[in-house]
Amino acid sequence: MNKKNAVILFGGSPTEHEVSIETAANIISYMSEEKYNIIPVYITREGKWLMYDGHAGNIRNLHWERMGTQAFISPDRVARGLCRIVGDKVKILPVDVVFPALHGKYGEDGAMQGLLELSGIPYVGSGVLASAVSMDKTYMKIIAETLKMEQTPYRVLRRGETRSPLRMKYPLFVKPAGFGSSVGVSKVRNKKELDAAMELAFGFDDKLIIERAVAGREFECAVLGGLGDGKASGVAEIIPAAEFYDYDSKYNDAGTVTVIPADIPEEIETAIRELSVRIFNGVSGSGLARVDFFVSEETGRVVFNEINTMPGFTAISMYPQLWAKAGLRYGDLIDELISIAEQRIYG
């Protein structure tokens, strides 16, 4: 069997850099070396691309600037490969598939997907449009409204806009519109906290979302499939160690508890799974996504929170755990994602 040249892109966004490294390391650890020539390509916080020649399992602890050689994906659809700079020469390494294990800005917001579309190389995950609108919370909310999905009341505010009085009940959440992993997110209970939270969020983005907090339980569902063909996993409950599921709770705090499968009535599980597929197909998602919900303690209804088109693959990430619980092992899950990528049309 001929091995496939599989590029794993990781690093990138300074705010989610370490998570991306952990995601890539975990993906690589479950990829079959009999099926794939694994080619790690690291993107520094400053945006420099570096390729590593050694064993792919070492990527966590490398001094990349000393050991990596400059390399980048060519946008040339005939070359369909990785340009590696060696001395004063450029060598083209053919690439069969790219797994962009990138989180945050320029990684899962459509920018990297645009480059990969130009290259003509199959890649894991959603395309430009689905990635962009899912990353931007303002457009995601508009799409969810058209799909008749219940959401908490919210308001969009852009930098420089006149700030009219906010007629929303506290507590509120303030979020940068275009960031993931709860970066720059604050929970606020009064006007003084609101001003500070807005200043923090505007430090990350020119647009923010202010939304009413939902008192209730938090749930996640994983989706896998091609365009228009998403399939939902079971449902997991998140019980965060912190007051809300912030960055530290997601990636650093051992006190956060995940319950798989969630202990919920069958009709709630069915609703969450159906809504997960609805939003995945609604944004033209492909490959993978994790969809987050609340169940309101006031109404008992399912409330849509957000969709993440490149969820983490760290050792504690929910997406691969949900599919493992459904009987799809990590290695088989990665093979399936690559197979879905290869079946897409990149015309």
CATH number given to 154-212: 3.30.1490.20
Among residues of the chain, what percentage have pLDDT more than 90?
79
Four-CA torsion 302, 305, 309, 310, nearest 10 degrees: -110
d(CA 23, CA 304): 25
User: Could you tell me the pTM of the whole model?
Assistant: 0.92
Residue 303 bridge partners (DSSP): 294
Give the sheet arrangement for strand 207-212, strand by strand. Answer: 154-158, 207-212, 172-176, 186-188
d(CA 290, CA 151): 17
Q: Which CATH number fits domain 132-150+215-343: 3.30.470.20, 3.40.50.970, 3.40.190.10, 1.10.101.10?
A: 3.30.470.20
Write down the number of H helices and E strands in the chain.
Answer: 10, 16
* pLDDT under 70: residue ranges of the chain: 1, 164-165, 181, 242-254, 347
Residues belonging to the chain: 347
- For the chain, the structural domain boundaries read 4-123, 132-150+215-343, 154-212
pLDDT of residue 72: 96
User: Quick check: do 4-123 and 132-150+215-343 share a fold?
Assistant: no
DSSP 123: B
DSSP 309: S
Q: Please tell me whether residue 56 adopts helix, strand or coil conformation.
A: helix
Q: Write the CB contacts of 66 (distance below 8 Å, at least 6 apart in sequence).
A: none
pLDDT of residue 57: 77
Work out the mean pLDDT of the chain and round it to a whole number. Answer: 92
Angle at 117 between CA 175 and CA 141, to 5 degrees: 25
d(CA 137, CA 154): 11
Which secondary structure element, helix H or strand E, spans residue 119, and what is its range?
helix 111-119
pLDDT of residue 181: 61
pLDDT tens readout for residues 292-337 = 999 999 999 999 999 999 999 988 899 999 999 999 999 999 999 9
pLDDT of residue 243: 62
pLDDT of residue 347: 66
Question: Measuring CA to CA, which residue among 183, 317, 322 is closest to residue 251?
Answer: 317
DSSP 126: -
Q: Write the CB contacts of 266 (distance below 8 Å, at least 6 apart in sequence).
A: none
pLDDT of residue 131: 97
Q: Please tell me whether residue 260 adopts helix, strand or coil conformation.
A: coil
Q: Please tell me whether residue 326 adopts helix, strand or coil conformation.
A: coil
**Alpha helices in 203-329, H assignment, sequence order:** 247-251, 266-282, 318-325
Architecture in CATH of 4-123: 3-Layer(aba) Sandwich (3.40)
pLDDT of residue 160: 83
Q: Please tell me whether residue 216 adopts helix, strand or coil conformation.
A: strand
pLDDT tens readout for residues 271-286 = 999 999 999 999 999 9
Q: Is the alpha carbon torsion for 268, 272, 277, 279 positive or negative?
A: positive
